[in-house]
């Protein structure tokens, strides 16, 4: 008997959430991984380089590359790509971002830059931008206001009028590589990550919703651990599912929901930002996987990083184990 065919797992998202999921899934045998990443990032180091060079914002691609990189063969390269300069003219810039921009300038395309970086990092899998063009997010609020730019939408502003719709300022189409990844996927994974600026942002790109709606893949959504001030104030788990379903065009087939208490010191950190654990108001249903999926170690602030980050994150191996049971 020959080997069983590898299962195609595709993540759609960006930032730390995608990094966590990929970091666990790369240890699952018999899978082929692809990461579809956002092209709407315009904050921090990525935003400064995007403004200066006009290339695709590659911060989310960089995080996915690091997650998929060989843990044993290139640990120093992984650390180097994740290094952030803490002072001087390049204060806040990430080495990996600068490296990818240099590769893009030399090779003439973002796709070739990602491919070259994948070889250097010994990546097992592929990282695919959701579009071949950079996008600018526009959020429409309930009170009639409009916010332009991912970094402004991402600001922690407690009590801000709710987001009622999200779109791109430009006409931006889904990339052929992203369409191919969705069409071939056995499992599609959304989240965790900021609901609007990391997950839904990808579905503002023309053509992705239709592709996912018609895909044969099993659709998985990983619910966030905490609300996000200014984006999902007072959102319960079911509210997250409603928004995902609205933008994606189909309800997730499987929902992964963390249950269990958080340490008091963690709760206090989030409370200072007016952010709170997501309330589980989902039904008792076979499609909902409940369990302790959080890594309760508080993530340290990196010197020079100006972008707001989560204090705690999902446990990558616990998520990988849950996904493996679906294969």
pLDDT at 298: 64
**What H or E segment, with its residue span, contains residue 269?**
helix 264-272
Task: Kindly report, residue by residue over 111-153, the tens digit of the pLDDT.
Answer: 999 999 999 999 999 999 999 999 999 999 999 999 999 999 9
pLDDT at 48: 77
Task: Kindly report, residue by residue over 156-165, the tens digit of the pLDDT.
Answer: 998 899 999 9
Measured CA to CA, the distance from residue 88 to residue 74 in angstroms comes to 28
Buried b (16+ CB within 10 A) or exposed e, 169-194: eeebebbebbbebbeebbbbbbbbbb
Measured CA to CA, the distance from residue 200 to residue 209 in angstroms comes to 10
The dihedral over CA atoms of 81, 83, 84, 90, expressed in degrees to the nearest 10, equals -70
pLDDT at 300: 56
Measured CA to CA, the distance from residue 295 to residue 136 in angstroms comes to 32
Measured CA to CA, the distance from residue 146 to residue 249 in angstroms comes to 24
Task: Kindly report, residue by residue over 209-233, the tens digit of the pLDDT.
Answer: 999 999 999 999 999 999 999 999 9
Measured CA to CA, the distance from residue 117 to residue 123 in angstroms comes to 8
Cα-only R_g, the chain: 19
| Cβ-based burial of 318 (10 A; exposed 0-12, middle 13-18, buried ≥19) | middle
State what percent of residues in the chain have pLDDT above 70: 94
pLDDT at 299: 56
Q: Work out the pLDDT band at 44, boundaries 50, 70, 90.
A: confident
Reply yes or no: is the peptide bond before residue 192 cis, omega within 30 of 0.
yes
Q: Which two tokens stand for residue 189?
A: 């994974």
pLDDT at 1: 41
Helix axes 44-53, 59-68, angle to 10 degrees: 120
Choose between 281 and 71: higher pLDDT.
281
Q: Which two tokens stand for residue 323?
A: 């996904």
pLDDT at 47: 73
Measured CA to CA, the distance from residue 312 to residue 99 in angstroms comes to 28
Task: Give the mean pLDDT of 190-209.
Answer: 97
Task: Kindly report, residue by residue over 249-292, the tens digit of the pLDDT.
Answer: 999 999 999 999 999 999 999 999 999 999 999 999 999 999 99
Task: Kindly report, residue by residue over 79-95, the tens digit of the pLDDT.
Answer: 888 899 988 888 888 89
Question: Which one, of 162, 161, 138, lies nearest residue 148 by Cα?
Answer: 138
Write down all domains in the chain, each with its CATH number in brackets.
7-324 (3.40.50.10680)
Task: Give the mean pLDDT of 175-183.
Answer: 98
Q: What is the pTM of this model?
A: 0.91
CB atoms within 10 A of CB 281: 10
Asked if the model's pLDDT at residue 308 lies above 60, the reply is no
pLDDT at 304: 46
Query: Is residue 27 within 8 Å of 317, Cβ to Cβ?
Result: yes
Asked if the model's pLDDT at residue 186 lies above 80, the reply is yes
Asked if the model's pLDDT at residue 318 lies above 90, the reply is yes
pLDDT at 220: 98
Mean residue pLDDT across the chain: 91
Q: Work out the pLDDT band at 73, boundaries 50, 70, 90.
A: low
């Amino acid at each position: 008997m020959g080997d069983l065919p590898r299962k195609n797992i595709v993540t759609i998202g960006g930032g730390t959430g995608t990094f966590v999921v990929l970091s666990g899934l790369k240890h699952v045998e018999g899978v082929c991984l692809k990461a579809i990443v956002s092209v709407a990032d315009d904050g921090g180091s990525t935003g400064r380089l995007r403004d200066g060079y006009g290339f695709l914002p590659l911060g989310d691609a960089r995080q996915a590359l690091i997650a998929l990189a060989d843990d044993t063969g290139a640990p120093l390269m992984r650390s180097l790509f994740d290094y952030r300069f803490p002072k001087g003219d390049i204060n806040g810039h990430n080495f990996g971002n600068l490296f990818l921009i240099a590769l893009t300038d030399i090779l003439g395309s973002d796709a070739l830059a990602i491919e070259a970086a994948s070889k250097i990092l010994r990546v097992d899998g592929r990282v695919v931008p959701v579009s071949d063009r950079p996008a600018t997010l526009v959020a429409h609020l309930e009170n009639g206001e409009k916010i332009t730019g991912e970094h402004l939408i991402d600001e922690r502003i407690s009590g801000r009028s709710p987001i009622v719709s999200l779109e791109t300022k430009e006409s931006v189409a889904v990339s052929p590589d992203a369409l191919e990844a969705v069409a071939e996927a056995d499992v599609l994974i959304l989240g965790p990550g900021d609901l609007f600026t990391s997950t839904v942002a990808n579905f503002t790109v023309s053509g992705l919703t239709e592709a996912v709606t018609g895909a044969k893949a099993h659709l998985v959504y990983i619910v966030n651990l905490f609300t996000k001030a200014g984006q999902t104030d007072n959102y319960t788990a079911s509210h997250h599912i409603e928004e995902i379903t609205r933008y994606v065009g189909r309800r997730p087939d499987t929902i992964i929901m963390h249950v269990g208490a958080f340490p008091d010191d963690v709760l206090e950190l989030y409370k200072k930002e007016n952010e709170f654990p997501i309330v589980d108001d989902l039904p008792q249903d076979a499609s909902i996987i409940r369990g302790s999926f959080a890594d309760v170690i508080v993530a340290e602030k990196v010197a020079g990083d100006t972008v707001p980050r989560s204090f705690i994150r999902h446990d990558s191996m616990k998520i990988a184990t849950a996904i493996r049971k679906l294969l």
